[in-house]
């Protein structure tokens, strides 16, 4: 991993209910984003992040990807292209 400033994904489009700003490794890149607690799996804390997919040449969110975040900051995408008409709360 290169030592440089993190990608800043802290706009409202990345926010989830009960989330707080933190840092994750997303595709090997240090990223500052909103992280929401999910719970425990086999005694390991798991959080979640949301990554919006924007319409071409627009700021309109057309769908979202969701990734699990583990205690070491690594992420694994668990859902892609989720419909934005559903509430995340």
Band (pLDDT 50/70/90 cuts) for residue 15 is: very high
Whether this prediction's pTM lies above 0.85 is answered by no
Q: How far apart are CA 68 and CA 76, in angstroms?
A: 5
Alpha-carbon span 17 to 19, nearest angstrom: 5
Summarised one tens digit per residue, pLDDT across range 19-76 is 999 999 998 899 999 999 999 988 889 999 999 999 999 999 999 999 999 988 889 9
Whether 2 has a pLDDT exceeding 70, the answer reads no
- Strands 44-54 vs 75-83: parallel, antiparallel or unpaired: unpaired
């Amino acid at each position: 991993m290169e030592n440089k400033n993190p990608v800043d994904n802290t706009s409202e489009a990345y926010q989830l209910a009960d989330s707080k700003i933190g840092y994750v490794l997303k595709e090997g890149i240090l990223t500052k984003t909103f992280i929401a607690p999910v719970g425990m799996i086999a005694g390991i804390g798991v959080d979640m992040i949301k990554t919006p997919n924007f319409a071409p040449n627009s700021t309109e969110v057309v769908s979202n990807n969701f990734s699990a975040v583990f205690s070491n900051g690594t992420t694994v995408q668990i859902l892609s292209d989720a419909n934005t008409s559903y509430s995340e709360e």
